[in-house]
Each structure stands twice: as structure tokens, then as C-alpha cells.
Structure 1
Amino acid sequence: MAIDSLASMGVPKPTSNNEWALYRLPDELVIPTGTRIQKHGYGCRFKNEQVYVDFDFGELGEINGFDCWRLNDFCRDNLKTKYGFDSQKDLERAFEDACLANELVYSGYILWYDHTNYGQNSEA
């Protein structure tokens, strides 16, 4: 959804996080569906009444990287009801456990990837 929204506005998918950081966009865009898009550093934020997604592009333009802060931010008010975590602490503990079990691969800079698709360029 996110990448398709950018493409529909003529914004190319970057081949790296550095390319994205140098790409010039207005501070905030609103696409016809009402979704607000805000570019920041290596990433962007998509927000409407149903969706809130914030992600950074990876070193090779990947969009399937995440960190614990972004997971918590994404889950927000649905932490318990939709995702089964009693608290932010529980989410953090599960994230740490996944790291220790080598289920997540660290990129070397901020982002983590599911070990089963590390290096793939999945859609957001």
C-alpha cells in the first residue's frame, strides 16, 4: 500500500536509504484517499483513520525492516486486543527473545529483519 501510494504520485521507490534521504518531497502530502504521507530521514509515515505505518528504507531500499519502537508504535491501542501483548514491556520482551533466538537479523543500523526473508525487498 505505502509504496503503491508513492508510485501513484510519481515518487520512485529508492534503491537505498541514502537515495531516499536525498529525495525531495514536501513536508507532508495528502493523497486523494485522504492518507497523509510524511517523509523523514530514511523513511516515511503513512496515516489515515484506519492505518498508521512508519518505516525506514533499508540499506538497499528494503521496506520490510523494523525495530521494537516501530512495532509498538504500529500496535498502539491494539497491543492487547489485536496482537495479544498485555503491555509494551511484554512486546519488548518478545522482541528481545526473538533476537536472542536468532529469529531476527540485525541490519547493522537500526532495522531488524525476519530471518526467513532477510535481504528480500518486500512490499509495505
Structure 2
Amino acid sequence: MLEEKFGNRNILRLWRSGKIERCGKITNGIQYELHGVGCAIHFPSESVNFDHGSNNRINGFDVWRLYIYALDRPLVYEHYCDKKTLEKEFKELVSLKTIKKCRHLMTYIYSTQLTHQNKFILETTNLNQLNARTTTQPPT
């Protein structure tokens, strides 16, 4: 979606070079908001917030972003609307090396294939899939 609109999915450079505004419209009803090293995409009924990583990666995430994502989707992720539960399972995935901390960033990325029973963290942070899914319509 970002690549289609701006020619690049990492639009931080465009903002920092003054080529685009910090906040703006992507399509009718979908807006972006750049911050620090990340971007929030606001759909009519929900938002997705992520950090940009090296090599134009857009799958940086942390507990706070996952928590907000779950709160936006309580019928789907009710279990993770409890931040303590999410923090506990997040720490388990870090200890299993399923996810790892990004170098030079405060966020995490995928490290290995998920083998843990909890797929929430990787499902909700697969922004490449989200990006492909939302090129024509907002997520449901």
C-alpha cells in the first residue's frame, strides 16, 4: 500500500527529506502517521503501528504495539487484551529465540519459525501480509 502510493514502503526518508508530510492520506479512509523510526497506518476501524528496520523491513514490533493491536480487535484477541498475559508470552518467545531484539532499535523482529503454541505475536506482526491484504481494502 505504501509502496503503491509513494514508490517505497519505507517512507521515513521521504518525510525527513521534506518530500511528504509527517501525516497524510494513503487512500480514501486510510491515513499514515510517521513517528521516530516508525509509522502508524490508520484504517477506518483500526490502526497498525510498526517500526522500520534495516533493509526496508517493516516488521518491527514490541509488546506495546501488540497490546494496542489486540485492543483494536478484542473479539479476535481477547486473551491478549490482558497486558500481563501478553508480556509473559512475549518473554517466552524471546527466550525461545523465536523473536529477537533488533540491533539499534527498541523493537523486535522474527528470528525463527514459530514452534510455540501461541501464534498471536507473529500473526499480528506480519505486516508484509497485512500490507498485501490492505492494498485494496481495509482489514476486517
Cα separation, 2, equivalents of 1:38 and 1:64 = 16
What does residue 57 of structure 1 align with?
Answer: 52
Q: Relative to total residues, which structure has the larger helix share, 1 or 2? A: 2
C-alpha root-mean-square deviation of aligned residues, in Å? 2.5
What does residue 35 of structure 2 align with?
Answer: 40
What does residue 73 of structure 2 align with?
Answer: 78
What does residue 8 of structure 1 align with?
Answer: 4
What does residue 22 of structure 1 align with?
Answer: 16
Contact 1:55-1:63 within 8 A present in 2 as well = yes
> What's the TM-score, normalizing by structure 1?
0.74
The count of aligned residue pairs is 113
Q: Which runs of 4+ in 1 moved over 6 A?
A: none
Contact 1:21-1:42 within 8 A present in 2 as well = no
Structure 1: tracts of 5 or more residues without a match: none
Of structures 1 and 2, the one scoring higher in RCO (CA 8 A, sep 6+) is: 1
Cα separation, 2, equivalents of 1:69 and 1:62 = 19
> What's the TM-score, normalizing by structure 2?
0.67
